Homo-oligomer: A and B are copies of this chain.
Amino acid sequence: MAYDGVETPHGKVDRMLGGAATYIGLAASYFTPVKIVAVVGDDFAGEDVALLAAKGIDLEGLERVPGKTFFWEGKYSADMNDRETLRTDLNVFADFQPKLPVSYRAAPYLLLGNIQPALQRDVRAQMHGLQLAGGDTMNYWIRDYRAELLETIRDWDFLLINDSEARMLSGEHNLRRAAARILDMGPRTLVVKRGEYGAILFANGCHFIAPGYLLDDVFDPTGAGDCFAGGFIGYLAERGVDLRGGAVGIEDWRRAVIYGSVMGSFCCEQFGVDRFRTLTREEVEKRYREFKACTDF
């Protein structure tokens, strides 16, 4: 969990609630009860705790330690497809060793946000009875922690990464070939996120291509990929899929991708997490239907 400073062509916010756990948790909370594991400093605001609590998110695993919360500052290009990181202060995040409360350890679904692969592996090792587990990573771990990352994702049921990360991880430019290589590394399902252009899921020997939802306005793309992850795992949890008890049907994977896209699209409509302050499940369902109406042929 983090505080972010973000500038986009639509405006600038110096400090607002952010972080992968925040976005994933908020998005998933529309589908299923969520338990968050994260660390914040003593500057973490009561109103931010209140927002998460209001969504029914279990915060027993939210560690508070002396010091400052992780801070990230970035600025988006005019077309929002690029962003420049202006500042990253790890703060209390630097020494984070996630410890799962006992009450978390039997949860059936696990989404590992982007963090050092060894920590992702440690978290997974603390859990028993998982029906579906997977997560995200980023270029930094792919480049500089490759062996540790490969060791970590080997056991994942799904890996969610963006297209440039998929190319970097596989060494293949073509996405079909990149996906085949990555699936050979262990994950049974791969979702390649393509930002405004949607996502492609590779599973069960075939693939599903979802275009991006076409927004009237993209205010702030920060967190959209994490909201995709939250919608994806949230929907699968709501459906009660169980990869241990057999394969997940391709239809469920596909709908999970669309719900992920839907949650990512809402995220972009306002700065930071603001859209989730008012968003309702009814709006989520309406956009899902709109998605279908705009893509069916």
Contacts and interface: CB of A to CB of B under 8 A. Distances in A.
A255 interface: yes
Interface residues of A, number: 35
A115 interface: no
A198 interface: yes
Interface of A: 78-79, 173-177, 194, 197-198, 200, 206-218, 251, 254-255, 257-258, 292-297
A214 B183 CA distance: 17
A210 B176 contact: no
A190 to B, nearest CB: 13
Tell me whether chain A's interface is mostly helix, strand or loop, or mixed.
mixed
A216 B251 contact: no
Contact of A295 (B78, B209, B212, B255): B209
A211 B214 contact: no
Given A208-B297, A209-B294, 19 more contacts: A78-B173, A79-B173, A175-B214, A176-B214, A176-B216, A177-B216, A198-B211, A207-B294, A208-B295, A209-B214, A211-B211, A251-B297, A254-B297, A255-B297, A257-B297, A258-B297, A292-B297, A295-B295, A296-B296
